[in-house]
């Protein structure tokens, strides 16, 4: 039984990709890199066959572009100016999240941990990030279940949130935290007795290894960055 193929890039390349895109997009002159980052995120989603993610990313990028650049041209007004500012700020996060989603979707917690170890990251960081990656779906699952319970209890809805925002948030957060803590306790106990965080030097079933895809992705990223710098879209 072979380990499933979870993406062709080495985990270290995927991590590096997220770091580089985040730094570029969030820098003071980062808007010029946003279209390239959005295109990269969409292309990665398509290679993952994650059609919904690809569609959502493209749609979110298009909506932010419309709100941030087209709407003020169509109707110059203080309201559209505020919307434009919000969209121009948010589109950077959309671009970063699009690339990070590829890392999360294609990298298992153990592969991430092995990749970080191979990159000589301190072990506490490798273990912590692996646990975080495993814990995301747990929290998401618990949040969805609490939201369902609120819907059935007639406690969900915009009306209640607008009238009593603190109470609505409390009703959501308290059961979600309680359920997440319970789930995380089992997960932590099981991982600890199976050696997670052990003082022994961990190994990997399939040690991370660079292939031709990694330098190819690096070249493509450099080309996209150069094109963005030269063309100055959105800047």
Partner 1 sequence: MIRLKGVSWTYAHASQPSLRGVDLHIRPGEVVALCGASGCGKSTLLRVMNGLIPHFHIDGALTGTVEVDGLDTTRAELDELGLVIGAVLQHPRRQFFTDSVPEELAFAMENFGFPPAEIRARVADLGGPLAAVVGPRARLRQLSGGLQQQVAIAAATAHRPRVLLLDEPSSNLSADAVRRLAGTVASLREAGLTMVLAEHRLRYLRDLVDRVVVLRDGAIDVEWSGAQFRAVSDAALERLGLRGEVRPVALAPITAVGASVDAGADAREPAPAGDAAFAVTGGAASGDAGGADLELVGVRCRLGGRLVLDVERARFEAGRVTAVRGPNGAGKTTLARIVAGLQRCAGQVRRGGRVLGRRQRQRLTAVVMQDVQRQLFADTVEGEIELAGARGPAGSDARSVLAALDLLDLAERHPLSLSGGQQQRLVVAAARVAGRRIVIFDEPSSGVDRRHLRSIADQIRQAAAPANTVLLISHDDDLIALAADRQLTLGPPRPGGIGRPDGIGRPDGIGRQNR
The reply to whether 3 sits near partner 1 by the rule CB under 8 A is: yes
The reply to whether 151 sits near partner 1 by the rule CB under 8 A is: yes
CA distance 34 to 40: 10
The reply to whether 203 sits near partner 1 by the rule CB under 8 A is: yes
The reply to whether 195 sits near partner 1 by the rule CB under 8 A is: yes
The reply to whether 155 sits near partner 1 by the rule CB under 8 A is: yes
The reply to whether 161 sits near partner 1 by the rule CB under 8 A is: no
Q: At what angle do helices 123-152 and 165-193 cross, to 10 degrees?
A: 130
CA distance 65 to 192: 46
> Residue from 18, 176, 221, 224 that binds partner 1 (CB under 8 A)?
176
90/108 with CB nearer partner 1: 108
Range 155-192 burial, b when 16+ CB lie within 10 A, else e: bbeeeeeeeeeeebeebbeebbeebbeeebeeeeeebe
The reply to whether 102 sits near partner 1 by the rule CB under 8 A is: no
> Residue from 207, 210, 219, 226 that binds partner 1 (CB under 8 A)?
207
Query: Which among 61, 115, 117, 121 has a CA at the least distance from the CA of 93?
Result: 61
The reply to whether 178 sits near partner 1 by the rule CB under 8 A is: yes
50/83 with CB nearer partner 1: 50
The reply to whether 134 sits near partner 1 by the rule CB under 8 A is: yes
The reply to whether 12 sits near partner 1 by the rule CB under 8 A is: no
Contact characters 105-124, partner 1, x per CB under 8 A: ---xxxx--x----------
DSSP state of 112: H
CA distance 53 to 37: 14
Burial (CB < 10 A; 0-12, 13-18, 19+), residue 200, is exposed
The reply to whether 190 sits near partner 1 by the rule CB under 8 A is: yes
Q: List residues near partner 1 by CB under 8 A.
A: 1-4, 108-111, 114, 134, 142, 145-146, 148-155, 171, 174-176, 178-179, 182-183, 186-207
């Amino acid at each position: 039984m072979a380990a499933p193929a979870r993406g062709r890039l080495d985990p270290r390349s995927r991590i590096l990709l997220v770091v580089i895109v985040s730094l570029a997009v969030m820098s003071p002159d980062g808007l010029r890199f946003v279209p390239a980052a959005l295109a990269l995120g969409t292309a990665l989603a398509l290679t993952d066959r994650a059609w919904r993610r690809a569609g959502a990313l493209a749609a979110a990028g298009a909506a932010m572009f419309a709100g941030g650049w087209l709407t003020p041209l169509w109707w110059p007004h203080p309201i559209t100016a505020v919307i434009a500012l919000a969209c121009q700020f948010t589109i950077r996060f959309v671009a970063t999240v699009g690339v990070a989603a590829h890392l999360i979707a294609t990298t298992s917690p153990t592969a991430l941990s092995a990749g970080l170890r191979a990159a000589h990251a301190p072990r506490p960081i490798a273990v912590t990030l692996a646990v975080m990656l495993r814990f995301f779906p747990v929290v998401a699952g618990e949040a969805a279940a609490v939201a369902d319970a609120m819907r059935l209890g007639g406690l969900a809805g915009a009306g209640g949130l607008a009238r009593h925002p603190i109470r609505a948030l409390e009703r959501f957060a308290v059961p979600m935290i309680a359920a997440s803590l319970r789930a995380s306790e089992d997960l932590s106990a099981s991982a600890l007795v199976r050696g997670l965080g052990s003082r022994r030097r961990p190994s990997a079933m399939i040690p991370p290894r660079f292939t031709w895809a990694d330098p190819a992705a690096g070249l493509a990223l450099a080309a996209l960055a150069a094109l963005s710098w030269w063309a100055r879209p959105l800047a």
